[in-house]
């Protein structure tokens, strides 16, 4: 579901290859190169500071001591969440804000390794059908409730309750059949089948651990004021305006990458909703707000020229921002036509012009920071001659008066749906439209309201749809490419698989993905995900464009702004205001 | 009926005329409401010659906007002759080029020539402006004539109906129409036309009423002329002259409204060049590439100002006669 409410358009990326661990900082960032070198490594690859080595903060003079107190104003360009508890639904806007007040059981670092957080230790059974999780015994929620084995039982039950309307969380605990209390602080999860991604799931803020007392109030009350263990707590929420977060003075569970211990420095965070890109950036420039997200490329360029502003940009894991091709009907039922379309468009030119070269290209369906991602530039490169040849082979040889190819009197045409709230701006589609026309392929752009965009997507009424799916695991492929997710399982018609491929080719993909999810060997898991990606690339089910990104712009006197692994969400635990 | 808000006759110099025209546009009030009825004898053969001589004795307040308008019309009719490249021609390698010898108005985020797009955009803007005004005036003519010529009860009914429509600000009514019919150029045109109609209709009604009570109509009735004859020979010709002015003035307003709707993403669809949608997109880059907003904005102002100035100029000339 998170791909339904993404950040706004123009969200670019930083697809520095997983193999190439250099920051690959973009030219625009030269000004901040020094303080940013580490930031970029951490942000682009790890999305978080790791082991304290990665401090994405702006340059504070050496020896400047963090100051406690003050209010930080954050303006988000992302959609306002419908619920502040990320269990309900489970999308990026929720992850952004709830990272400040909720914490998960495990911490996953930038290499994909799992470590403890609220959980102290864990142990798999030999058949990998049971997982014992022991939580810390010294943690209390901000409502005074103690964290214990019962908390895990109640949290899993809450996610699985159909009334909760969870979409991300429910997929995360899909394999968890039951939870059993072993002792006061240890719970045993019984699985229906082995799940290699289970610990990764429990390391996302979409599957946080919340107070069982708070959950007992029901989803409606919990949506307004979720109760967690984070460095801040929800004070109030004025809808369509702002969420006020106040410091948790008892806080003592920082992530392994935090730079200090104890409560946060900031006293308060005002989380404002300011969807207009130009207005948001203007508010940052004037100092009305301290931090903004969904920083547009042109504004990143401007921020770099402004000594009062800094930027922090990092990739998010999961399914990259892409155009997904609907194979269930129309011209894209033919794989040759799918490849021809992909070969006809020039992604690099679009990134260079519209994104002002601030966003690297992705040639993989998996984000460059997601484990086992396999970049395949050969498959996704522009090749107009090949596109023409493939279309000729597919029988689209005749042309109509406007120069478009026709077959049996039907024009070679497809429709891309687009909405303001996806990361692919309409100008990118216009460029694709222009280059597709050169091979006689008509691309119609249909700009939609968010509601009609989703309605069309649920009803498979599109040829192409810009999409992404944030997840800190290669198992995101199981969600968006397994043909089992073609039918809708959730009320409203949402389906996680949007390419709709069926038949023997789809079965091959399913087989590789399902084996990868259950195999006991990490090496084999890697090989299987590589094979799955190869099969997906060969079927041209989507055109990868760029990694999803978290893009922050902030005032230079805001110190210690960081992105937290594994989702790359901003965290303000180490943040302080240098305004004495 | 509203009393004239400001009499065009008091406008003596072009600058003041400009102020007035802008004011009119901003207020969304059909300016011709201000025109006092100018009853003339039926089937006045001098109407055409009036126009001709009006054009012949034009002052700069008409000549200047007329030349500009002719330029815009040329852009609308033969854009390809006036521009070096097509409005959709892309060259991403030249994105965000500042105005210069190669690209007079610079290029946009896909390397399209802004000058070519602005010139090609004239057609849809003028067309929407003219068609919307025709729709609005056509509808207004029917409603206004029914109210003005009908019985007291009919007049009452139509007038109340118009007042209900007046309760909606014009643009809101257009938005309502687009919400129902869906976005696009055609629906924008209809929407703008419909929302302009109530203002015109009121104008026409009062015009018809004053002509109906004039001496020459009474004379015709005494002569035993038929109702149809009177409408055809007295009412319609006398409504026509102010209607022409009304139309000229209305086009400017319609262009602004249509651009506003496109700005909101309800008008032209991508990648069609349309001033409002160009402005909307350019707004994102206002700190980096000023030319993306300045030139389309300038043309919206220019087209609205020329038609409005021209309308006022003609109005004044007609009054002087």
Q: What digits encode the pLDDT tens for the residues A382-438? A: 999 999 999 999 999 999 999 999 999 999 999 999 987 678 888 999 999 999 999
Confidence at residue B262, expressed as pLDDT on a 0 to 100 scale: 87
Q: Any residues with CB less than 8 A from the CB of B232 and at least 6 apart, and which? A: none
Quick one: pLDDT at residue B213? 86
Burial annotation B162-198 (CB, 10 A radius, 16+ → b, else e)? beebeeeebbebbbebbeeeebebebbbbbbbbbbbb
**Residue A292: its H or E element:** strand A291-292
H-run or E-run covering B66: helix B60-77
> Which pLDDT value is given to residue A160?
94
Phi first, then psi: give them for residue B258, nearest 5 degrees.
Answer: -65, -40
- Of the candidates A299, A356, A431, the beta carbon closest to that of B90 is on A431
Look at B47 and A556; give whichever has higher pLDDT. A556
Instruction: List the Cα angle A208/A210/A211 in 5-degree steps.
Output: 165
Q: Packing angle between helix B236-263 and helix B291-320, nearest 10 degrees?
A: 170
Q: Do B93 and A352 touch (CB under 8 A)?
A: yes
List domains and CATH numbers for chain A: 62-313+550-577 (3.40.190.10), 321-546 (3.10.105.10)
A456 touches chain B (CB under 8 A): no
Is the pLDDT assigned to residue B76 strictly greater than 60?
Answer: yes
Is the alpha carbon torsion for B247, B252, B253, B256 positive or negative? Answer: positive
Which residues of chain A have a CB within 8 Å of the CB of B279? none
| Smallest Cα distance from B93 to chain A, Å | 7
Burial class (CB in 10 A: 0-12, 13-18, 19+), B15: exposed
Q: What is the mean pLDDT of residues A121-133?
A: 96
CA A370 to chain centre: 11
Cα-based torsion angle of the residue sequence A331, A332, A334, A340 in order, rounded to the nearest 10 degrees: 90
User: Across residues A447-471, what is the average pLDDT?
Assistant: 92
Kind and range of the H or E element at A430? helix A426-437
Read off the pLDDT of residues A262-274 as tens digits, 9 standing for 90 and up.
Answer: 999 999 999 999 9
pLDDT at position A249: 97
pLDDT of A519 > 70? The answer is yes
- Does the pLDDT of residue A14 top 80, yes or no? no
The per-residue pLDDT for range B231-253, each reduced to its tens digit, is 888 888 888 888 888 888 888 88
Mean confidence (pLDDT) of chain A: 88
List, as one string, the DSSP characters of B236-287: HHHHHHHHHHHHHHHHHHHHHHHHHHHHTTSSSPTTS--HHHHHHHHHTTTT
Contact of A431 with chain B, judged by CB distance below 8 Å, is answered with yes
CB A384 within 8 A of CB A540: no
Residue A292 Cα to chain centre, angstroms: 17
Cβ distance of B270 and A434 shorter than 8 Å: no
Query: What's the pLDDT score for residue A63?
Result: 53
Work out the pLDDT band at A50, boundaries 50, 70, 90.
very low
Beta-bridged to residue A469, according to DSSP, are A319
For range B78-88, the mean pLDDT: 89
Cβ neighbours of A302 in B, within 8 Å: 287-288
- Closest by Cα among A470, A469, A472 to A106: A472
Q: What is the pLDDT of residue A12?
A: 31
Residue A79 is predicted with a pLDDT of 87
Contacts of residue A280, Cβ cutoff 8 Å, sequence gap at least 6: A75, A77, A274, A289, A292, A294
Tokens representing residue A316 in the block: 């998010």
Q: Which residue of A has its CA nearest to B112?
A: A431
Which pLDDT does position A1 carry in this prediction?
39
Strands (E), A170-287: 176-183, 186-191, 232-238, 242-247, 268-273
Average pLDDT on A33-61 reads 35
**How many angstroms separate the CA atoms of B184 and B269, rounded?**
7
Q: What is the pLDDT of residues A185-244, one digit of tens each?
A: 999 999 999 999 999 999 999 999 999 999 999 989 999 999 999 999 999 999 999 999
| B310: closest CA of chain A, how far (Å) | 36
Judged by average pLDDT, the poorest of A23-37, A135-149, B136-150 is A23-37
Lowest mean pLDDT among A555-559, B58-62, B155-159, B247-251: B58-62
- In the prediction, which pLDDT does A34 show? 33
CA dist., res. A210 & res. A101, Å (int): 10
Size of interface A-B (CB pairs under 8 A): 59
- Which chain A residues have a beta carbon less than 8 Å from that of B92? 346, 349-350, 352-354, 431
Q: What is the DSSP letter of A255?
A: -
Task: Look at B110 and A430 and tell me if their CB atoms are within 8 Å.
Answer: yes
Q: What local confidence, expressed as pLDDT, does residue B6 receive?
A: 37
d(CA A417, CA A498): 13
CB burial of A196-232 (b: ≥16 within 10 Å; e: otherwise) equals: bbbbbbbbbbbbbbbbbebbeeebeebbebbbbbbbb
- A429 contacts chain B (CB < 8 A): yes
Which comes out higher in pLDDT, residue B57 or B258?
B258
pLDDT of residue A46: 32
Tens digit of each residue's pLDDT (9 = 90 or more) over A284-317? 999 999 999 999 999 999 999 999 999 999 999 9
Indicate yes or no: pTM above 0.80: no
A438 inside 8 A of chain B by CB: no
How many other CB atoms sit within 10 Å of the CB of residue A163?
Answer: 10
Q: Which of A289-293, A345-349, B88-92 has the lowest mean pLDDT?
A: B88-92
Does A366 have pLDDT greater than 90?
A: yes
B289 contact residues in A (CB cutoff 8 A): 298
Q: Name A359's Cβ contacts closer than 8 Å, sequence gap at least 6.
A: A12, A13, A14, A297, A351, A546, A549
Q: Does A445 touch chain B (CB under 8 A)?
A: yes
Q: By the 8 A CB rule, do B303 and B252 touch?
A: yes
Q: Do A278 and B111 touch (CB under 8 A)?
A: no
Contact assignment for A447 to B270 by CB distance below 8 Å: yes
pLDDT band of residue B54 (cuts 50, 70, 90) is low
Mean pLDDT of A119-144: 96
Query: What is the percent of chain A with per-residue pLDDT over 90, rounded to a whole number?
Result: 79
Q: DSSP class of residue B97?
A: P
**Residue A74 contacts residue A269 (beta carbons within 8 Å):** yes
pLDDT of res. A167:
84
Q: How far is B123 from chain A (nearest CA, A)?
A: 21
Confidence of residue B26 (pLDDT cuts 50, 70, 90): very low
Give yes or no for residue A17 having a pLDDT over 70.
no
pLDDT (0 to 100) of residue B236: 85
> What chain A residue is nearest to B271 in terms of C-alpha separation?
A430
Out of B92, B109, B288, closest to residue A301 by CB? B288
Portion 345-384 of A in contact with B at CB < 8 A: 346, 349-350, 352-354, 356
pLDDT at A461 over 90: yes
Q: Is B288 in Cβ contact with A431 (below 8 Å)?
A: no
Is the per-residue pLDDT at A77 higher than 50?
A: yes
In this prediction, residue A482 has a pLDDT band, given cuts at 50, 70 and 90, of very high
Query: What is the nearest CA distance from B270 to chain A, expressed in angstroms?
Result: 7
Q: What torsion do the CA atoms of B208, B210, B211, B213 make, to the nearest 10 degrees? A: 120
* B277 vs B42, more confident: B277
Confidence of residue A87 (pLDDT cuts 50, 70, 90): very high
Percent of the residues in chain B that have a pLDDT greater than 90, as a whole number: 27
pLDDT > 90? residue B61: no
CB contacts under 8 A, B 5-44 vs A, are: none
Rounded to a whole number, what is the distance in angstroms from the first to the last CA of chain A? 43
Nearest CA among A159, A201, A204 for reference residue A179: A159
Is A121 in a helix, a strand, or coil?
Answer: strand
Number of Cβ within a 10 Å radius of residue A357: 16
Per-residue model confidence as pLDDT tens digits over B273-304:
889 989 988 888 888 899 999 999 999 999 99
Burial of B81 (0-12, 13-18, 19+ CB in 10 A): exposed
Question: Using CA atoms, how far apart are residues A303 and A290, in angstroms rounded to an integer?
Answer: 13
Taking phi first (over 0 means left), then psi (-120 to 50 degrees means alpha), and beta for anything else, what does residue A36 get? Answer: alpha
Residue B56: predicted pLDDT: 64
Unique residue bearing structure tokens 């919307």:
B132
Q: What pLDDT, on a 0 to 100 scale, did the predictor assign at position A382?
A: 96
Confidence of residue B58 (pLDDT cuts 50, 70, 90): low
Measured distance CA(A552)–CA(A555) in Å, rounded: 10
C-beta separation of A101 from A234 below 8 A: yes
- Which of A20-24, A396-400, B154-158 is predicted least confidently? A20-24
State how far the Cα of A292 lies from the Cα of B110, in Å rounded to an integer. Answer: 26
Mean pLDDT throughout B34-61? 60
Tell which of A12, A282, A294, A430 to mutate to test the B interface (max B CBs under 10 Å): A430
Q: What are A187's strand-pairing partners?
A: A133, A181
Residue A28, C-beta contacts closer than 8 angstroms, at least 6 positions apart:
A300, A301, A304, A356, A357, A358
Do the chains contact at B95 and A433, CB–CB below 8 Å? no
Residue A321 pLDDT exceeds 80: yes
Q: Which two tokens stand for residue B64?
A: 């200047």
């Amino acid at each position: 579901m998170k791909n339904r409410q993404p950040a706004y358009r123009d969200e670019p990326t930083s697809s520095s290859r997983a193999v190439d661990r250099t920051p690959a900082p973009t030219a625009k960032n030269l000004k901040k190169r020094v303080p940013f070198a580490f930031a970029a490594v951490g942000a682009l690859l790890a999305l978080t500071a790791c082991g304290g080595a990665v401090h994405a903060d702006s340059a504070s003079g050496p020896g400047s001591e963090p100051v406690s107190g003050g209010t930080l104003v954050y303006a988000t360009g992302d959609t306002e969440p419908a619920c502040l508890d990320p269990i309900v639904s489970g999308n990026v806007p929720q992850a952004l804000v709830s990272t400040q007040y909720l914490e998960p059981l495990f911490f996953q670092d930038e290499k994909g390794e799992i470590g403890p957080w609220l959980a102290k230790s864990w142990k798999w059974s030999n058949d990998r059908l049971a997982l014992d999780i022991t939580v810390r015994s010294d943690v209390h929620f901000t409502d005074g409730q103690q964290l214990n084995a019962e908390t895990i039982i109640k949290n899993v039950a809450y996610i699985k309750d159909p009334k909760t309307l969870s979409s991300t969380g429910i997929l995360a605990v899909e394999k968890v059949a039951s939870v059993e209390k072993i002792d006061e602080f240890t719970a045993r999860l019984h699985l229906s089948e082995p799940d290699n991604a289970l610990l990764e799931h429990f390391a996302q803020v979409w599957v946080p651990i919340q107070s069982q007392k708070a959950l007992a109030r029901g989803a409606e009350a919990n949506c307004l004021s979720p109760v967690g263990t984070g460095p801040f707590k929800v004070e109030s929420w004025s809808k369509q305006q702002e969420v006020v977060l106040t410091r948790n003075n008892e806080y003592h569970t920082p992530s392994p990458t935090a730079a200090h211990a104890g409560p946060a420095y900031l006293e308060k965070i005002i989380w404002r909703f300011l969807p207009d890109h130009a207005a948001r950036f203007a508010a940052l420039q004037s100092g009305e707000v301290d931090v903004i997200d969904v920083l547009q490329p042109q504004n990143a360029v401007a921020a770099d020229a402004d000594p009062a502003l800094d930027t922090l940009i990092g990739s998010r894991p999961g399914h990259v921002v892409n155009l997904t091709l609907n194979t269930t009907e129309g011209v894209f039922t033919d794989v040759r036509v799918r490849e021809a379309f992909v070969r006809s468009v020039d992604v690099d030119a679009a990134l260079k012009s519209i994104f002002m070269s601030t966003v690297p290209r992705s040639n993989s369906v998996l984000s460059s920071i997601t484990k086992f991602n396999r970049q395949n530039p050969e498959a996704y490169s522009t090749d107009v001659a090949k596109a023409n040849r493939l279309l000729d082979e597919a029988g689209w040889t005749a042309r109509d008066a406007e120069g478009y190819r026709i077959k049996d009197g039907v024009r070679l045409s497809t429709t891309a749906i687009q909405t303001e709230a996806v990361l692919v701006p309409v100008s990118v589609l216009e460029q694709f439209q222009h280059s597709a026309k050169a091979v006689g392929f008509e691309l119609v752009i249909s700009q939609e309201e968010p509601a009609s965009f989703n309605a069309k997507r649920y009803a498979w009424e599109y040829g192409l749809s810009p999409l992404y799916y944030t997840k800190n695991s290669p198992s995101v492929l199981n969600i968006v490419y397994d043909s089992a997710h073609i039918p809708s399982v959730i009320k409203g018609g949402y389906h996680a698989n949007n390419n709709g491929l069926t038949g023997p080719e789809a079965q091959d993909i399913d087989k590789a993905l399902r084996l990868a999810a259950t195999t006991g060997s990490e090496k084999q898991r890697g090989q299987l995900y590589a094979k799955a990606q190869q099969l997906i690339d060969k079927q041209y089910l989507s055109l990868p464009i760029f990694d999803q990104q978290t893009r922050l712009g902030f005032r230079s006197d805001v110190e210690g702004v960081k992105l937290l692994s594994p989702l790359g969400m901003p965290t303000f635990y180490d943040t302080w205001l240098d305004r004495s | 009926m509203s009393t004239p808000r400001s009499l065009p006759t008091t406008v003596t110099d072009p600058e003041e005329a400009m102020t007035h025209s802008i004011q009119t546009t901003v207020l969304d009030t059909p300016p011709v409401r201000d025109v006092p009825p100018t009853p003339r004898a039926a089937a006045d053969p001098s109407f055409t010659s009036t126009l001709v001589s009006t054009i012949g004795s034009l002052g700069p307040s008409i000549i200047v906007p007329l030349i500009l308008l002719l330029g815009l019309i040329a852009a609308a009719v033969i854009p390809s002759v006036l521009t070096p490249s097509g409005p959709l021609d892309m060259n991403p390698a030249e994105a965000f080029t500042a105005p210069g010898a190669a690209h007079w108005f610079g290029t946009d985020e896909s390397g399209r020539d802004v000058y070519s797009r602005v010139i090609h955009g004239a057609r849809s803007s003028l067309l929407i402006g003219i068609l919307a005004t025709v729709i609005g005036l056509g509808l207004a003519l029917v409603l206004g004539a029914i109210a003005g010529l009908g019985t007291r009860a009919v007049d009452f009914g139509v007038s109340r109906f118009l007042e209900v429509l007046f309760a909606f600000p014009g643009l809101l009514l257009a938005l309502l129409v687009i919400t129902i019919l869906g976005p696009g150029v055609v629906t924008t045109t209809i929407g703008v036309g419909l929302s302009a109609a109530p203002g015109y209709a009121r104008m026409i009604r009062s015009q018809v009423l004053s002509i109906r009570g004039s001496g020459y109509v009474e004379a015709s009735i005494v002569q035993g002329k038929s109702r149809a004859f009177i409408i055809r020979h007295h009412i319609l010709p006398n409504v026509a002259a102010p209607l022409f002015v009304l139309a000229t003035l209305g086009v400017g307003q319609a262009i602004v409204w249509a651009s506003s709707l496109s700005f909101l993403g309800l008008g032209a669809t991508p990648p069609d060049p349309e001033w409002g949608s160009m402005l909307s997109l350019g707004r994102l880059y206002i700190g980096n590439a000023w030319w993306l907003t300045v030139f389309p904005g300038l043309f919206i102002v220019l087209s609205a100002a020329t038609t409005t100035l021209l309308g006022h100029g003609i109005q004044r000339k007609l009054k002087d006669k």
